[in-house]
Amino acid sequence: MTSLQAPKGTFDILPPDAERRQGLETAARKILGAAGYRRIETPAFEATELFARGVGEATDIVQKEMYTFDDGGGRSLTLRPEGTAPVCRAYVEHGMHKLPQPVKFWYLSSFFRAEQPQKGRYRQFWQVGAETIGAAGPETDAEMIVLLAELLEAMLVKGTRLRLSSLGSPETRQQYRERLTAYLREHESRLSSEVRDRIGLNPLRAFDATDPGTREVMAAAPRLLDALEADDAEHFAAVRELLDASDVRYEIDPTLVRGLDYYTRTVFEFTSDALGAQSGVGGGGRYDRLIEQLGGQPTPASGWAAGVERILMSGTEPPIAPDPVDLFIALSDRDAGTAAAAFVVAREARRAGMAAQLELTGRSLKGQLKQADRIGARYVAIVEGDSRATLKEMSSGEQQELSLSAVIPTVLRGSRLT
Ligand code: AMP
């Protein structure tokens, strides 16, 4: 029988990785919390309809990448492939339009996409994300970009580049789509078959194609950025000015197409040169029509999501040191009375606020001292029977015999042993 392994495209987060992730979570809480964002968590699965409506029927995510299953009662559920639609669903479901606007959320959750796994691309992965719901102005978009830039900087992500564009309104996009479709049909014979098959479904994706024929055609294709309505163009100009004022460097990329359908106006993406083929670290944009599409009132909104694994892969943030251990409780013998007394000391030490670990494996005394050293314990209490102990300060090697009840006060005082 072969041994069991984690499914393809998934991975275990072992304690050292978990500690680095903790560092990212702390940085996100600090940076986003200071700007008024509050944590939200939504369920790991939702009604499939939410993503079909919220992400867009024509997107790769909905077409090919969702883990969808029947709940046993004929209702179709899907493991969440992204976080924006669920957060918006929660906003509508809990009537959060009644709260002072905007409502600002952040999350750090796992997501699921049935993709072909490779370095930096998994089937279960984590994203840290932020959403601002109920604010339409360019300051919101610029602030969100600045916050993601700050988070990447705090995580020491190397070689970042920011690409920026505007998608205008759905109406402008519709007109543009028709123009682009006509252009693509005109040059159909030079396009890849994949792009050709999707002209009717999603012509914008032709800008993402990598084959030389399609790329040549796309180099001369009409650009949405040149077709924006005056108010959308003004909004975009204001976002750029705010970024300039905050010294955030960006490149305008008229071909930037985000994989989700719900974006309006600003879209952006951070990449890192330190990553391989999967260079996208995080991105987002404005989605002014989504809340309405999910049954809420028309509500402007803007947000981003960044890949936790990719941040950690491209970042140089040093690993966090394991938690310090104040006291290791060792046993001088295998007596039941000694074991019970040691157990009680461990519990009381923790209640007094210390990090305390109890010997659990029946090691020899020498082995126990070695273990205390390995975990970096400041003190070891060697419990002898139910009333005596020897307390050893690991850094100096000093030790002192004392009554068991004196162990915790002595460690708490951190006084030198004599
Ligand atoms: P998206 O929701 O597709 O815009 O993705 C936002 C970010 O999430 C990307 O820039 C990546 O950093 C990360 N991401 C997306 N899909 C995956 C995946 N399958 N595996 C790992 N990270 C991912």
- Chain segment 232-249, per-residue pLDDT in tens: 999 999 999 999 999 999
The overall average pLDDT reported for the chain is: 93
Q: Which residues of the chain have pLDDT under 70?
A: 1, 257-262, 415-418
* Nearest alpha carbon, ligand 1 atom 21: 121
pLDDT of residue 261: 62
pLDDT of residue 415: 56
Q: Return the CA Rg of the chain.
A: 28
* Nearest alpha carbon, ligand 1 atom 3: 259
* Nearest alpha carbon, ligand 1 atom 4: 283
pLDDT of residue 162: 97
Distance 10 CA to ligand 1 centre (A): 14
Q: What angle do CA 200, 204, 209 make, to 5 degrees?
A: 105
Distance 83 CA to ligand 1 centre (A): 11
Topology agreement, domain 15-168+228-314 and domain 325-413: no
Q: In the chain, count of helices (H) and strands (E)? A: 14, 16
Distance 119 CA to ligand 1 centre (A): 12
Ligand 1 atom closest to the CA of 311, numbered from 1: 12
Confidence (pTM)? 0.88
- Sheet of 76-79: strands edge to edge? 45-47, 76-79, 68-70
d(CA 367, CA 389): 18
Burial class (CB in 10 A: 0-12, 13-18, 19+), 410: middle
- CB 280, CB 310: distance < 8 Å: yes
pLDDT of residue 8: 96
* Nearest alpha carbon, ligand 1 atom 13: 307
Domain ranges of the chain: 15-168+228-314, 325-413
d(CA 405, CA 414): 15
CATH top-level class of 325-413: alpha beta
Beta-carbon contacts of 409 under 8 Å, excluding residues fewer than 6 positions away, are: none
Write out pLDDT tens, residues 12-25. Answer: 999 989 988 999 99
d(CA 333, CA 336): 9
Distance 390 CA to ligand 1 centre (A): 54
Q: What angle do CA 386, 389, 391 make, to 5 degrees?
A: 155
Ligand 1 lining (C-beta closer than 6 Å): 82, 113, 115, 120-122, 125, 127, 259, 280-283, 305-307, 309-310
Distance 117 CA to ligand 1 centre (A): 12
Mutate to test the pocket of ligand 1, among 107, 162, 309, 312 (most ligand atoms within 8 A of CB): 309
d(CA 28, CA 100): 23
pLDDT of residue 416: 55
The domain defined by 15-168+228-314 carries CATH number 3.40.50.10490: no
Distance 378 CA to ligand 1 centre (A): 42
- At residue 298, what is the residue type? P
Which helix or strand (DSSP H or E) is residue 179 part of? helix 170-186
* Nearest alpha carbon, ligand 1 atom 12: 307
Beta-carbon contacts of 221 under 8 Å, excluding residues fewer than 6 positions away, are: 180, 183, 184, 206, 207
